[in-house]
Amino acid sequence: MIRLNLRLRRTFLIIWSLSLWAVFAIFPPAYQNYYPTPADRHSFLLGMQQNAGMVALWGPLEDPPTLGQIVMWEAGSMMIILGSVMSVLLFVGVHRRSEALGLTELQLSTGISRMAPAAAAFVTTVIAALIVGLGSAGVLWLSSLYVEEMPIGGAVSSGAVIALTMIGSTLLAHLVLLFVDNPASVTRIALLTVAGSFIARSVADSEEFGWLNWVSPLGWKTVVHPYVADDWRSIVLLALLCAGVGGLLLWAERYREYGRALVTLPTFTRTRARRIHGPVHLASVLHRGTVLAWAVVIAVLAAFIIALTGSLSGWMETEANVGQIFKDIFGEGDMKAEFIAYTAKLCGILVATYGIQVIVGHRAGELDRTVDLQRSTGLRRWVPLASVTAVSVGGVLLGTLAILGGGAVGLWTQESTTSVDYDNLVPAAWSQLAPALLLTAVAALLVGWVPRLTHLAWAPVVSAAVLTLFGPILSAPQWMIDLSPFEYPVSSTSGEWTTHLWMGLGAMALMGLGLLGSQRREIL
Amino acid sequence: MKHPVIEVTGLTKKFGTFRALDNFTMSVEEGTIHGFLGPNGSGKSTTIRILLGVLHPTSGTARVLGKDPRRHPSILRRVGYIPGDVALWPTLTGREVFRALESLRGRPTDRDREEELIEAFKLDPDKKTRDYSTGNRRKVSLVAALSTGADVFILDEPTAGLDPLMEQVFVRELTRERDRGATVLLSSHIMSEVEKLCDHVTIIRDGRAAESGSVEKLRHLSAHEITARVSRETSALAALPGAEWRDDTFRITTARDEVPRILRLVLDAGGVDVTSTPASLEDMFLQHYGDES
Superfamily of segment(s) B4-217: P-loop containing nucleotide triphosphate hydrolases (3.40.50.300)
Report pTM. 0.76
Residue type, A455: H
Instruction: Say how far apart CA A414 and CA A487 lie, in whole Å.
Output: 27
Q: Where are the domains of chain B?
A: 4-217, 223-292
Q: Does A372 touch chain B (CB under 8 A)?
A: yes
pLDDT band at A218 (very low <50, low <70, confident <90, very high): very high
Q: Does A524 touch chain B (CB under 8 A)?
A: yes
The answer to whether A277 contacts B103, with C-beta atoms less than 8 Å apart, is yes
Helix (H) or strand (E) holding B19: strand B18-29
Whole-Å CA distances, A321 to A43, A303, A317, A325: 6, 29, 11, 6
From the list B73, B91, B92, which residue is nearest A379 (CB)? B73
From the list A282, A289, A523, which residue is nearest B100 (CB)? A282
Instruction: Say how far apart CA B93 and CA B70 lie, in whole Å.
Output: 30
The answer to whether A289 contacts B52, with C-beta atoms less than 8 Å apart, is no
For chain B, the average pLDDT equals 87
The predicted-structure confidence for A100-116, as pLDDT tens digits, reads as follows: 887 887 777 777 888 88
- The residues, any chain, with a CB within 8 Å of residue B260's CB and separated by 6 or more, are none
The answer to whether B76 contacts A275, with C-beta atoms less than 8 Å apart, is no
Whole-Å CA distances, B176 to A447, B141, B154: 42, 17, 16
- The residues, any chain, with a CB within 8 Å of residue A302's CB and separated by 6 or more, are A343, A344, A347, A402, A403, A405, A406, A407, A410
Percentage with pLDDT > 70 across chain A: 94
A380 CB neighbours in chain B (<8 A) are 73-74
Residue B293 pLDDT exceeds 50: no
The answer to whether A378 contacts B78, with C-beta atoms less than 8 Å apart, is yes
pLDDT band at A248 (very low <50, low <70, confident <90, very high): very high
Instruction: Say how far apart CA A98 and CA A5 lie, in whole Å.
Output: 10
Nearest to A196 by CA among A116, A88, A114, A112: A88
From the list B75, B100, B154, which residue is nearest A276 (CB)? B100
A369 CB neighbours in chain B (<8 A) are 83, 85, 87
Quick one: chain B helix, strand, coil %, rounded to 5?
40, 30, 30
Closest A-chain CA to B73: A378
Residue A319 pLDDT exceeds 70: no
DSSP structure string for B181-243: T-EEEEE-S-HHHHHHH-SEEEEEETTEEEEEEEHHHHHHHH-EEEEEE-SS--HHHHTSTT-
Q: Is B271 in contact with B288 (CB distance < 8 Å)? A: no
Q: Does A452 touch chain B (CB under 8 A)?
A: no
Candidates A270, A363, A369, A377: best to mutate against B (most CBs of B within 10 A) is A377
Percentage with pLDDT > 90 across chain A: 51
The predicted-structure confidence for A498-521, as pLDDT tens digits, reads as follows: 999 999 999 999 999 999 999 988
Helix boundaries (H) for A61-185: 67-94, 96-100, 103-108, 116-143, 152-177
Instruction: Say how far apart CA A36 and CA A147 lie, in whole Å.
Output: 10
Q: Chain A: nearest CA to B67, how far in angstroms? A: 12
Mean pLDDT for B238-263 is 84
Q: Tell me the ipTM for this assembly.
A: 0.70
Residue type, A439: L
A376 CB neighbours in chain B (<8 A) are 52, 76, 79, 81, 83, 154
A372 CB neighbours in chain B (<8 A) are 49, 52, 54, 83, 87
Q: Give the pairing of strands B152-156 and B183-187.
A: parallel
Q: How many CB atoms lie within 10 A of CB B284?
A: 26
